[in-house]
A and B are shown apart, each in its own frame.
Chain A
Amino acid sequence: MIEFFNRLFGRQTSGATAKERLRLVLMSDHLSLAPEMIDAMKRDLVDVISHYVEVDRDRIDVHFEHQDKALAMLANIPITGVARNGASVEHAANGATNGHLHAERTDAAQPEVRAAPAQLPIEADAQQALAPSGDEPLAPAAGETEGVTAAAQAQRTAKPKAVTAKNGARPRRRRRKNTAG
């Protein structure tokens, strides 16, 4: 009956706590047992990001942290150069040959980036550039924060800055400052 009242008032049962702890600890365990996977993911991550900005591959730090009830991946990726006004996106569109996903995107993105007027809001610009099809109407930029991609981040930041990749569904709690020159 005590447990019933606990549940009635929203208190978590110890069984539920055990389940949650188990889920988290096993994720950590599996990650620590798969260093090759982390390395491969790090490579892929950097490959994608470097389609948009220049990054310092030697000083990338990817690690995992327990945060409340989730496991977060924290990636500290020093950016060494960003071209002005989406030029890096265009550069990526012209230069990338390896990523399948990227190749699909550039088909749609390339003409859009070229046509994008300078006075467009940045969010709209980024969305347009990354939209799956150029024929589709633009989604409203307001309130669209979760969908902002690395490209949008890069276009907003005028100066070189570290991109902090986090668990997408969670609110940002910490922003890592760049230690790179």
Chain B
Amino acid sequence: MQVLQTQDEQPLSGSSAALGRAIVITSGKGGVGKTTTTANLGTALARRGARVALIDADVGLRNLDIVLGLESRVKHHVLDVLEDRVPLDEALVRDKNSSTLYLLAAAQTREKDEVDTDKMIALVQTLRERFDYVLIDCPAGIERGFKNAVAGAHEAIVVCTPEVSAVRDVDRVIGLLGNRFEPKLVINRVRPHLVRKGKMLSVQDVNAILRLSLLGVIADEPEVIVSTNKGEPLALRNDSPTASAYHAIAARLAGEDVPAPMVEYKESFMERLGSFFGGRR
């Protein structure tokens, strides 16, 4: 339905049926896992056979190439394309693991203010004609970089962690996105055992406030850090619950009716004993 809507908004684009979905991944606050989510979601979508382009819109602080392990392959960046120095095909870096996944890296030596918003919109539009998904990794903040990243998108995924500051910033971002988007929520870095002990906001707590369509929940697992260290997104694997969570997000995004996201935590015997006597909160 969202795709139909975007096609209506862009009647000038050539082949009518094949326009991809342009989705910005944003959060307001930095360090909540936008880039990791973008890399893993892109990987998971590509594993489903979709053609995916990732744009690193964090001009000046390029990172998406690192998470994907593509840093040595990047020769050109998004501003080279926007300023017509390099053709799009030369700047797009093909992923080493997924043949249908491409990256357009951010410029490292430039600033966010140097990006021309109209050209960014045009670039996203061009990519939509060639890819099923265009995922835009938004920089932190709500200034020019945010606006440029959002400008070409038609859908939004907001990434939040169960922290007061992150939820507050996401709330602000939802306000800024306005009615043009129906943002979907990914809650990242959940620690189920802390939630169980009442030491962390739960998924329900967070979404009781944000009231968004919940796309997925990612646990705070060491393997996420390990995968970033290696430059191999976790979504490449099949044997990890966190990877499965990314695959579930991709499936849900593609419109599949997969079960509601859950983060399970197995209580220890002592904790069960505790809740038996003390009652659940």
Contact = CB atoms under 8 A, between A and B. Distances in A.
Contacts of B177: none
A26 B209 contact: yes
Chain A at the B interface: mostly helix, strand, loop or mixed?
helix
A15 B205 contact: yes
Interface in A28-59: 29, 33
Interface stretch (A6-14, A99-107, A134-142, A165-173): A6-14
A18 B164 contact: yes
A3 B201 contact: no
A31 to B, nearest CB: 13
Interface of A: 1, 3-4, 7-8, 13-16, 18-19, 21-23, 25-26, 29, 33
Given A3-B198, A25-B168, A26-B171, A8 B281 contact: no
Nearest to A22: B164
Contact of B172 (A4, A13, A14, A29): A29
A22 B198 contact: no
A19 B199 CA distance: 10
A18 B274 contact: no
Pairs of residues from A and B, 3 with the lowest C-beta to C-beta distance, nearest first: A13-B198, A4-B274, A15-B198
B17 interface: no
Given A13-B198, A15-B195, A15-B199, A22 B175 contact: no
B202 interface: yes
Contacts of A3: 197-199
B198 A16 contact: yes
A25 B164 contact: yes
B205 A8 contact: no
Contacts of A14: 198-199
22 contacts: A1-B271, A3-B199, A4-B275, A4-B278, A7-B278, A8-B278, A13-B197, A13-B198, A14-B198, A15-B198, A15-B200, A15-B201, A15-B202, A18-B164, A19-B201, A19-B205, A21-B164, A22-B164, A22-B205, A23-B209, A25-B164, A26-B171
A33 B199 contact: no
B163 A18 contact: yes
B1 interface: no
Given A13-B199, A14-B199, 6 more contacts: A3-B197, A4-B274, A13-B281, A15-B198, A15-B202, A19-B201
Contacts of B200: 15, 18
Interface of B: 163-164, 167-168, 171-172, 175, 194-195, 197-202, 205, 209, 270-271, 274-275, 278, 281
A18 B162 CA distance: 9
A23 B164 CA distance: 9
Nearest to A21: B164
A88 B175 CA distance: 44
Contacts of A18: 163-164, 200-201, 205
Contacts of A29: 168, 171-172
A57 to B, nearest CB: 31
Contacts of A13: 197-199, 281
Nearest to A3: B197
Contacts of A25: 164, 168
Nearest to B196: A3
A4 B205 CA distance: 20
Contacts of A1: 270-271, 274
Contacts of A15: 194-195, 197-202, 205
